Amino acid sequence: MRSPDWVFLDMPGCGRSISLKHRACPWRNAYLFDNVLRGLLHNPRKMLQPYVTPGMTVLDVGCGMGFFSIGMARLVGSDGLVIAVDLQQEMLDVVEKRAARAGVADRIRTHRCTDDNLGVTTKVDFALAFWMVHEVPDRAGLFRQLGSLLRTDGHLVIAEPKIHVSADDFRETLELAKAQGWTWSEDPRMRASRSAVLRVAAPAAAECRRIYGSGH
Ligand SMILES: C[S@@+](CC[C@H](N)C(=O)[O-])C[C@H]1O[C@@H](n2cnc3c(N)ncnc32)[C@H](O)[C@@H]1O
């Protein structure tokens, strides 16, 4: 069953807020889930070390306040790079502050994108889209752009919040990705999430690069 286009969230001490599909999470709301307790739910090292190794260049699309950008910066090490992309400058400002505090600012590059254009051309070994795909109006366009950026054999991990995204909605997202040349293999089992690991077939990647330009 498809989930409704809106949900109410009751957060203790924070009142009641409405969250809409295909609307970017307002930056202040990100503190509701990206706070000191998040580490109890998600461990970036354990979740992503099967895909992210030292020296890699990786993309965190819809990075929010950078919970996973910082986790991946630790995994790629001093020779690697994390490109942290978000629509909202306020999110990116927090990423930069947190990265400096965590001592990994030298390996995180922030980039502000628009709703329908990531505006990134650097090729990446791995991409993460965590709890963000349901906020994107043109999901097919997002998958095409990611296909143009990922190196051959690179993985894309998508995770969607169960609270917003039903099993049917998630299946529909995977079908949309499939239509853009992606295949999916595993369900990496991430808490409170529906998740999948995807790879893009070489001919589809070439077509995506033709549309969006090649990386450098
Ligand atoms: C729910 S937050 C998740 C943030 C982060 N991935 C995390 O797990 O903490 C979703 C983020 O995606 C961003 N976003 C929404 N639509 C986007 C788009 N079309 N391109 C890039 N970022 C987008 C929002 O601004 C927001 O920061």
Task: Give the model's pLDDT for residue 4.
Answer: 47
Determine if ligand 1 sits within 6 Å of the CB of residue 200.
no
Distance (Å, whole) CA 88 – CA 5 = 22
Determine if ligand 1 sits within 6 Å of the CB of residue 72.
no
Give distance in angstroms: CA of 106 to centre of ligand 1. Answer: 22
**What is the residue-level pLDDT of the chain in tens, covering all 216 positions?**
455 444 444 433 333 334 445 678 888 788 778 888 898 899 999 999 999 999 999 999 999 999 999 999 999 999 999 999 999 999 999 999 999 999 999 999 999 999 999 999 999 999 999 999 999 999 999 999 999 999 988 999 999 999 999 999 999 999 999 999 999 987 899 999 999 999 997 766 676 666 666 544
Residue-range domains of the chain with CATH: 6-212 (3.40.50.150)
- E strand map for the chain: 6-11, 15-20, 57-61, 81-86, 108-112, 124-130, 150-161, 182-184, 193-200
- Nearest-atom index, ligand 1, CA of 27: 27
Task: Give the model's pLDDT for residue 17.
Answer: 39
Task: Name the closest-CA residue to atom 10, ligand 1.
Answer: 132
Distance (Å, whole) CA 59 – CA 65 = 14
* Burial (CB count <10 Å: 0-12, 13-18, 19+), residue 12: exposed
Determine if ligand 1 sits within 6 Å of the CB of residue 63.
yes
Of 69, 43, 67, 59, nearest to 149 (Cα)?
59
Mutate to test the pocket of ligand 1, among 61, 135, 191 (most ligand atoms within 8 A of CB): 135
Q: What Cα–Cα distance (Å) separates residue 160 from each residue in 41, 117, 200?
A: 14, 20, 19
